[in-house]
Amino acid sequence: MEAGGSREREARNYLEKHRIMELLKYLTSVLLFIRPEKPREYLIAILEKLRIAKATGVAFPFFMDHSNITAMFDMMDSSKKGTISFVQYKEALKTLGLCPADEVLKDDGHAITLDKFKSEVNKRTQEIWSAF
Amino acid sequence: MDATTAPHHIPPEMSQYGEENHIFEIMQNMLEQLLIHQPKDPILFMINHLQLDNDNVPKIVILGPPASGKTTIAMWLCKHLNSNLLTVENLIAKEFSSLAAAARKHYQINKRVPSMQLVRLIQDRVSEDDCVRRGWILDGIPETREQALMIQTVGITPRHVIVLSAPDTVLIERNLGKRIDPQTGEIYHTTFDWPSESEIQDRLIVPVGISELETAGKLLEYHRNIVRIFPSYPKILKVISADQPCVDVFYQALTYVQTNHRSNAPFTPRVLLCGPMGSGKSLQAALLAQKYSLVNVCCGQLLKEAVADKSKFGEVIQPFFEKDMAVPDSLIMKVLSERLNQQDCIQKGWVLHGFPRDLDQALMMDSLGYKPNRVFFLNVPFDSVLERLTLRRTDPITGERYHLMYKPPPTTEIQDRLLQNPKDAEEHVKFKMDLFYRNAAELEEFYGQALTINGDQDPYTVFEYIESGIINPLPQKVP
Q: How confident is the model at residue A2 (pLDDT cuts 50, 70, 90)?
A: very low
Q: What confidence tier does A132 reach under pLDDT thresholds 50, 70, 90?
A: low
Higher pLDDT, B120 or B8: B120
Nearest CB among A39, A54, A132 relative to B26 is that of A39
pLDDT at B284: 92
**What residues in chain A have their Cβ under 8 A from chain B's Cβ atoms?**
10-11, 14-15, 18, 20, 23-24, 27-28, 31-33, 35, 39-40, 43-44, 47-48, 50-51, 54, 72, 75-76, 78, 87-88, 91-92, 95, 132
Sign (positive or negative) of CA dihedral A117, A119, A124, A126: positive
SS3 B398: coil
More confident residue, A98 or B268: B268
Closest CA to B360 of B423, B422, B439: B439
Give the per-residue pLDDT at B161. Answer: 92
Strand-pair partners of A112: A84
Query: Which of B35, B45, B149 is best to mutate for the A interface (most A CBs within 10 A)?
Result: B35
Find the distance separating the first CA and the last CA of chain A, reported in whole Å: 32
- Is residue B119 over pLDDT 80? yes
How many other C-beta atoms can be found within 10 angstroms of the C-beta atom of residue B434? 11
Residues of B in contact with A31 (CB under 8 A): 17, 21, 23
Superfamily of domain B57-167+210-258: P-loop containing nucleotide triphosphate hydrolases (3.40.50.300)
Closest CB to B17: pick one of A35, A48, A88.
A35
Task: Answer yes or no: is pLDDT of A100 > 70.
Answer: no
Residue B260 pLDDT > 80: no
Q: Which residues have CB under 8 Å from B168's CB, separation 6+?
A: B65, B216, B219
Exposed, middle or buried by CB within 10 Å (0-12, 13-18, 19+), for B253?
A: buried
Residue B168: pLDDT over 50: yes
Contacts of B5 in chain A (CB under 8 A): 91
Whether the pLDDT of residue B478 is over 50: the answer is no
Position B479 scores a pLDDT of 43
Closest residue to B27, CB basis, from A28, A48, A87: A28
Centre a 10 Å sphere on the Cβ of residue B293 and count the other Cβ atoms it contains.
11
Query: Do B50 and A44 lie within an 8 Å CB cutoff?
Result: yes
Q: CA of A24, closest CA in chain B: separation in Å?
A: 7
Q: What mean pLDDT is reported for chain A?
A: 76
pLDDT at B6 over 60: no
Q: Is B202 on the interface with A (CB under 8 A)?
A: no
Interface test with B, best of A8, A17, A18, A129 (most B CBs within 10 A): A18
Q: Please count the other Cβ atoms lying within 10 Å of the Cβ belonging to residue A110.
A: 9
Nearest to B23 among A31, A76, A92 (CB): A31
- B451-454 and B374-379 strand pairing: parallel
Quickly state the pLDDT bin for B476 (edges 50, 70, 90): low
Please report the sign of the dihedral spanned by the C-alpha atoms of residue B349, residue B355, residue B357, residue B359.
negative
Does B154 lie at the interface with A, CB-CB under 8 angstroms?
Answer: no
What average pLDDT does the segment B452-457 reach? 90
Same CATH fold assignment for domains B57-167+210-258 and B270-471 = yes
* Rounded average pLDDT over A92-119: 71
Instruction: Determine the pLDDT at residue B61.
Output: 92
CB contact under 8 A, A76 and B14: no
pLDDT tens digits, residue range B70-101?
888 998 999 998 999 988 888 888 777 788 88
Please state the φ and ψ torsions of residue A72, each to the nearest 5 degrees.
-65, -40
Q: Can you tell me the distance from the alpha carbon of A25 to that of A31, in angstroms, rounded to the nearest whole number?
A: 10
Rg (CA), chain A: 18
pLDDT > 90 fraction of chain B, expressed in percent and rounded: 12
Lowest mean pLDDT, pick from B13-22, B184-193, B437-446: B184-193
Q: Scanning every residue of chain B, which has its alpha carbon at the shortest distance from the alpha carbon of A85?
A: B4
- Statement: residue B417 has pLDDT above 70: yes
Helix (H) or strand (E) holding B422, with range, is: none
Give the range among A13-27, A59-73, B108-122, B352-366 with minimum mean pLDDT: A59-73
Give the model's pLDDT for residue B352. Answer: 93
* pLDDT beyond 50 at A46: yes
The domain limits of chain B are 57-167+210-258, 270-471
Cross-strand bridge partners of residue A83: A113
Determine the topology of domain B270-471 in CATH: Rossmann fold (3.40.50)
Closest CA–CA distance from residue A62 to any residue of chain B (Å): 16
Task: Give mean pLDDT, residues B340-347.
Answer: 85
For B181-223, write each residue's pLDDT tens digit: 888 777 788 877 788 888 878 888 887 777 788 888 888 889 9
| Residue B260, CA distances (Å) to B225, B252, B475 in order | 28, 15, 7
Question: Å from B154 to nearest chain A CA?
Answer: 13
Indicate the pairing of strand B187-189 with strand B295-298.
Answer: unpaired
B2·A24 Cβ contact <8 A: no
Checking if the pLDDT of B403 tops 80, the result is: yes
In the predicted structure, residue B295 carries a pLDDT above the cut 50? yes
Peptide bond into B39 cis (omega under 30): no
Side-chain-side CA neighbours of B49 within 13 Å: the count stands at 24
State whether residue B36 is helix, strand or coil. helix
CA distance B165 to B62: 11
Inter-chain Cβ pairs, chain A and chain B, closer than 8 A: 68
B46 contacts A10? CB cut-off 8 A: no
pLDDT at B164: 92
Q: What is the mean pLDDT of chain B?
A: 85
What pLDDT score was predicted for residue B1? 45
Contacting residues of B for A16, CB less than 8 Å apart: none
8 A C-beta contact, residue B71 and residue B98: no
Q: Per the CB < 8 Å rule, is A40 touching B17? A: no
Mean pLDDT of B258-267: 79
C-alpha distances in angstroms, B88 versus B108, B118, B179, B287, B316?
Answer: 13, 8, 19, 51, 74
Cα torsion B422, B428, B430, B433 to 10°: value is -100
Taking residues B118-138, report their average pLDDT.
Answer: 87
